[in-house]
Amino acid sequence: MSSYAIKLDNVGLRFNLNRERVDNIKEYFIKFLRHQLYYNVFWGLRNVSFTVQEGERLGVLGLNGAGKSTLLKVISGVMKPTEGTLEVHGELAPLIELGAGFDHNYSGGENIYLYGATLGYSRKQIQEIWKDIVEFSELQDFIDVPVKNYSSGMRARLGFAIACMVEPEILILDEVLSVGDAPFRAKSEAKITELFNKGVTVIFVSHNMEQVQKLCDKAILLEKGQVVANGDTESVCAEYVRRMKAGR
């Protein structure tokens, strides 16, 4: 068995951006057949390599547009890398866009099973923790209400509760510790800390360096889709501050 949970080797993700607007499918195919589709190539990630050992907590830092969320989507399997290799060992729960996988016509309770299935859990497994999920989300009075009637905060709380209560081996966090009001945020941090203490592998994206320093034991710094610093949390945070002050 490998001792690492996640390994990226020269991973890159390329986007082809249309130079001009194509208004409909017919126009698209005409231009395609005539070889008149022109793109600008944009690399969201390029030459990204790092390894996360089992039980490690990796912080991901970078300014807006650095490629942080793109990186998490690649690791989570939402996007497929254009080049390089990615290995993930263990059950993974991505807390990236909480509630993004919900069917808004289904009730909150029905979406627990749906969202749980997207995380790879059987109906029986979800049944065993269903009550815990509802209790943690604090949505007991609304669990039979269609999700389309939920506020964005309610959807995020339910998504957070599902992902955390299934207790994955690898946890992907993207700025999710700001979900809900102050008491719910405190409860969320306590649950995350509980998972940390159980040895869950974590990748954590945040603009809050204090949170990264508090929760992570190593970090990487992304800039324009590339890793420009990789090491212990303190040194990477210091490099992040240096680059911000330099206006880079």
Q: How far apart are the first and last CA of the chain?
A: 41
Q: Are 25 and 33 in contact (CB under 8 A)?
A: no
The closest of 101, 72, 76, 110 to 160, measured between CA atoms, is 101
> Which strands sit side by side in the sheet containing 57-61, from one edge to the other?
92-95, 170-174, 201-205, 57-61, 218-223, 226-232
Task: Kindly list the structural domains of the chain, giving each domain's residue range(s) and its CATH number in brackets, ordered by start.
Answer: 4-245 (3.40.50.300)
The closest of 199, 227, 183, 188 to 59, measured between CA atoms, is 227
Distance CA 205, CA 221 (A): 10
pLDDT, residue 14, reads 92
Identify residue 56 by its one-letter amino acid code: E
Specify which residues 193 forms β-bridges with: none
Segment 137-155 shows an average pLDDT of 92
Segment 211-233 shows an average pLDDT of 92
pLDDT per residue over 60-96, tens digit each?
A: 999 888 999 899 989 988 899 999 999 999 888 777 6
Distance CA 33, CA 36 (A): 8
Q: Are 19 and 199 in contact (CB under 8 A)?
A: no
pLDDT, residue 1, reads 46
3-class DSSP string for the chain = CCCEEEEEEEEEEEEEEECCCCCCHHHHHHHHHCCCCCEEEEEEEEEEEEEEECCCEEEEECCCCCCHHHHHHHHHCCCCCCEEEEEECCCEEEECCCCCCCCCCCEHHHHHHHHHHHCCCCHHHHHHHHHHHHHHHCCHHHCCCEHHHCCHHHHHHHHHHHHHHCCCCEEEEECCCCCCCHHHHHHHHHHHHHHHHCCCEEEEECCCHHHHHHHCCEEEEEECCEEEEEEEHHHHHHHHHHHHHCCC
pLDDT per residue over 110-133, tens digit each?
A: 999 988 887 777 889 899 999 999
Higher model confidence: residue 225 or residue 31? 225
Higher model confidence: residue 104 or residue 97? 104
pLDDT, residue 157, reads 86
Identify residue 144 by its one-letter amino acid code: D
- Assess whether pLDDT exceeds 90 at residue 141: yes
Give the predicted TM-score (pTM) of the model: 0.76
pLDDT per residue over 155-204, tens digit each?
A: 888 988 887 887 788 988 876 666 667 788 788 878 888 888 888 999 99
Segment 1-12 shows an average pLDDT of 87
pLDDT, residue 48, reads 97
pLDDT per residue over 8-52, tens digit each?
A: 999 999 987 665 666 667 665 666 566 666 667 889 999 999 999
